[in-house]
A and B are shown apart, each in its own frame.
Chain A
Amino acid sequence: MAAARKRILKEYTECSNDTPPGMKINFDEQNMTEWEILMDGPEQSVYSGGHFKLRLTFPNEYPFKPPVVSFKTKIYHPNVSNDDKGSMCLGMLRPDAWKPPNKVISVLHLVRTLLIEPNVDDAIEASIASEFKDNKKGFEKTAKEWVKQYAK
């Protein structure tokens, strides 16, 4: 869609001028609707030291439908589905919460915030969420092990 093209380009400019800390965007003008994001685990989080690859996909209906965020690097997190999709779908990323003027830059900030402070009340992985609540030590241990194993 021509309209979305203009908007995505503008959003890319916006994001590269003000990229959230520890993130890098690989943008391909031939394939504008798929962004590859490289992200360092935030220092104050259990994911510190890890390097995560994410894909941000813009649906055909963008910006009337939200972009889709998926972790290509395995991560132990209550808000990321523990499967081959690694999808994240909460807050503004939910189709009924997304408003067309919302921007990708806010999505990137949301992702970073969630790595620092997971949202256990809106978890996609219920068992990881309850571990986070009841056995924080155990959660942190596994999360760090996964960083070592998958995100180096």
Chain B
Amino acid sequence: MDSDDEFNSSGSEEDFNNDSDASFGGGDDDSDLDMEDNDIGFETQDKDIKKSKQKYEVDFQVFGPEQVQAQQDNQIEEVGNILGQPPEAAAILLRHARWNKERLIESYMDNTDKVLESAGLGEAALHPPKIEKVKGFTCDICCEDGPGLETFAMKCDHRFCVDCYKHYLESKIKDDGEAARIRCPGDGCNRIVDAVSLDFLVTSDKLRDRYVELLTRTYVDDKDNLRWCPAPDCENTVECGVKDKDLPRIVPTVHCDCGHFFCFGCSLNDHQPAPCGLVKKWLKKCEDDSETANWISANTKECPKCHSTIEKNGGCNHMTCRKCRNEFCWMCMGNWAEHGTSWYNCNRFEEKSGYEARDAQAKSRQSLERYLHYYNRYANHEQSAKLDKDIYLKTEKKMTQLQMQTGMSWIEVQFLDSASQALQQCRQTLKWTYAFAYYLARNNTTEMFEDNQKDLEMAVENLSEMFEKSTDQLESLKVEMMDKTSYCSKRRIILLNDTAENLRKGEGLVIDLF
């Protein structure tokens, strides 16, 4: 497979670095994957030197709004110089070409008139847009007529009164957030209202500001290597060289300066180690099967021994029935003692074989059971991550108490914060490993994946259990807890690295999105 070569050619994890011009890769789609190493690409003025990159991590850069504006301005200037056009015209041309600089320059050289014309700069520039009074005209929008009525039309000759034309543009800009690609108001007409006509008709300052803001947005929307941070109220943009076609084999998690981790491929929250396509499929399945799955994910269960109702009130899976003191595992409802000594395969769905599977009914029941097995664990971690969040809020109080009881400083009680963060991050990962495992065909690599999953599961469970201890026990547990925290993070990195490597090589893990 030549695509394998593409991924492995530079023999390092630096394949996916990129510079701002990555998407203009000279017409060859693949060229930007093989770029020069940039190990020295960050400034080391800070004391803490950036950790070396893990295999599952990709290169990316975060930009604020001003930097994005500056990028645009640079490109406008550059293209303007090349084409011998003033900046305003270069900007119109670039927007029209969806910021594909290479293609614009090429087609401009090929057929200048045609490019100018389709961007609305051709004849429109020679005959600037003008308002006309037309004899016997009735506006098809407001039904007004009369000889004094001012009208406007583009080259397509769909003529309306100026008030209606303006109102139409205002409604598109203000209500629908459109700017660069507003269509002619004419029935069935797809002609884009060109920038010159827009400039001519959009006259109020407020609307112009909004229009300019929207145009800036289209810059990011049009560029494959840029994405808005999806966090509410965040105005940052992230740049990353991973292409859509890479997504089956790379999970490009990026980290915005605002603190939000998200997937560059699909803009959803971080879903390492599962690839975007699988995530989409899984979420759709969960939605479709939500009724069946709802009762499973419900927050209460019956004690397997005495059948009294038990509510889960922490992230830990080690449950103790308040009534009969039965200790069991929340996920598989199995006896806890068996987990404690030798963690049996709580994470693995034992495929049933034999005659049962031949029975069609049993088969469909088994496929539901199989789904519920993974869904149950997926939902469990989702739920636990939320609960761990609550626990952290309570623990913040505990941290204060601990300080007062022991004389520890605020810095010294931060280990609880680190533990809480590690728990949430690991649960987020674990959650997606179950969705992932659901779609994996059985083979040796899958078993290694599940071993990694099991190790992380166990590490998280241990830390989570310790996390719920009372304040007076916490001081003596500090060192152990810090160990367990870093062990958790280590297990997570191992799982993610192994999985990323397998995915990237395109061998081992066989994903079957049946």
Contacts and interface: CB of A to CB of B under 8 A. Distances in A.
A64 B143 CA distance: 13
Interface string B132-147: 0000000011111000
B291 interface: no
B143 A6 contact: yes
A3 B142 contact: yes
Contacts of B160: 100-101
Given A3-B144, A99-B188, A101-B140, A64 B176 contact: no
Contacts of A96: 176
A64 B144 contact: no
A49 B167 CA distance: 43
Interface in A92-111: 95-96, 99-102
A76 B319 CA distance: 49
B209 interface: no
Interface string B172-215: 00011000000101111100000000000000000000000000
A101 B144 CA distance: 13
A6 B142 CA distance: 7
B143 A101 contact: no
B299 interface: no
Nearest to A65: B171
Contacts of A18: none
DSSP class of B's interface residues: helix, strand, loop or mixed? loop
Nearest to B140: A101
A3 B176 CA distance: 22
Interface residues of B, number: 19
A107 to B, nearest CB: 13
19 contacts: A3-B164, A6-B142, A6-B144, A63-B142, A64-B168, A65-B175, A95-B176, A96-B176, A99-B183, A99-B187, A99-B188, A99-B189, A100-B141, A100-B160, A100-B168, A101-B140, A101-B160, A101-B185, A102-B187
A100 B143 contact: no
Contacts of B189: 99
Contacts, number: 43
A101 B186 CA distance: 7
Interface in A60-104: 61, 63-65, 95-96, 99-102
Taking each of A3, A65, A100, which has the highest tally of chain B beta carbons within 10 Å of its own beta carbon? A100
A99 B164 CA distance: 12
Interface in A1-53: 3-4, 6-7, 10
B141 A7 contact: yes
Nearest to B171: A64
Contact of B142 (A7, A95, A102): A7
Contacts of A65: 171, 175
B159 to A, nearest CB: 11
Given A3-B142, A63-B142, 17 more contacts: A3-B143, A6-B142, A61-B175, A65-B171, A96-B176, A99-B183, A99-B185, A99-B187, A99-B188, A100-B140, A100-B160, A100-B164, A101-B140, A101-B141, A101-B185, A101-B186, A101-B187
Nearest to B165: A100
Contacts of A100: 140-141, 160, 164, 168, 185
B143 A10 contact: yes
Contacts of B186: 99, 101
A7 B142 CA distance: 6
A96 B190 CA distance: 12
A3 B168 CA distance: 13
- Which of A3, A65, A95 has the most chain B CB atoms closer than 10 A to its own CB? A3
B372 to A, nearest CB: 23
B102 to A, nearest CB: 31
Contacts of B188: 99
A102 B186 CA distance: 9
B192 to A, nearest CB: 14
Nearest to A99: B187
A95 B168 CA distance: 12
A65 to B, nearest CB: 7
Contact of B143 (A7, A61, A99): A7
Nearest to A96: B176
A48 to B, nearest CB: 32
A3 B161 CA distance: 12
Given A100-B164, A100-B185, A63 B141 contact: yes
A95 B175 CA distance: 10
A11 to B, nearest CB: 9
A95 B176 CA distance: 9
